[in-house]
Amino acid sequence: MTTQGNIEKRSPADFLKQVVGKPVVVKLNSGVEYKGVLACLDGYMNIAMEQTEEHVGTQLKNKYGDTFIRGNNVLYIAAQKKGKQRKVG
């Protein structure tokens, strides 16, 4: 990782390693969002989450314990930080 001024350059892989075990938002190509703790993911962007909530628009639709999302459905993954989001994807 290099820095130029106040900007730190990171790869998407670095970001994903940093958010494993932390709260994230995963948005699917269909527009549905899943919010929960990122348990793990693989090179195909298949995602395992814990304490997952399914949101359609602003409405909570369902709550799941553990969730597996197939990578080809993922539009982006965003870290949840004090009400702010950072996207990758």
Average pLDDT over residues 5-17: 78
- Asked if 35 and 25 touch (Cβ cutoff 8 Å), the reply is yes
- Confirm whether 3 is domain-assigned: no
Report pLDDT digits (tens) over 12-24.
Answer: 888 888 889 999 9
Q: How many domains does the chain have?
A: 1
84 has a pLDDT exceeding 50: no
Specify the CATH number for the domain of residue 43: 2.30.30.100
- Confirm whether 50 is domain-assigned: yes
- Confirm whether 22 is domain-assigned: yes
Integer Cα distance of 5 and 22 in angstroms? 28
- Confirm whether 84 is domain-assigned: no
Q: What is the pLDDT of residue 12?
A: 82
Integer Cα distance of 54 and 49 in angstroms? 11
**pTM for this entry:** 0.78
Q: What is the pLDDT of residue 6?
A: 62
Full residue range of the structural domain in which residue 64 is found: 12-79
- Confirm whether 24 is domain-assigned: yes
- Confirm whether 6 is domain-assigned: no
Report pLDDT digits (tens) over 32-64.
Answer: 999 999 999 998 999 999 999 999 999 999 999
Average pLDDT over residues 3-9: 64
- Confirm whether 62 is domain-assigned: yes
Q: What is the DSSP string of 10-76?
A: --HHHHHHHHTTSEEEEEETTS-EEEEEEEEE-TT--EEEEEEEEEETTEEEEEEEEEEE-GGGEEE
Q: What is the pLDDT of residue 4?
A: 55
- Confirm whether 1 is domain-assigned: no
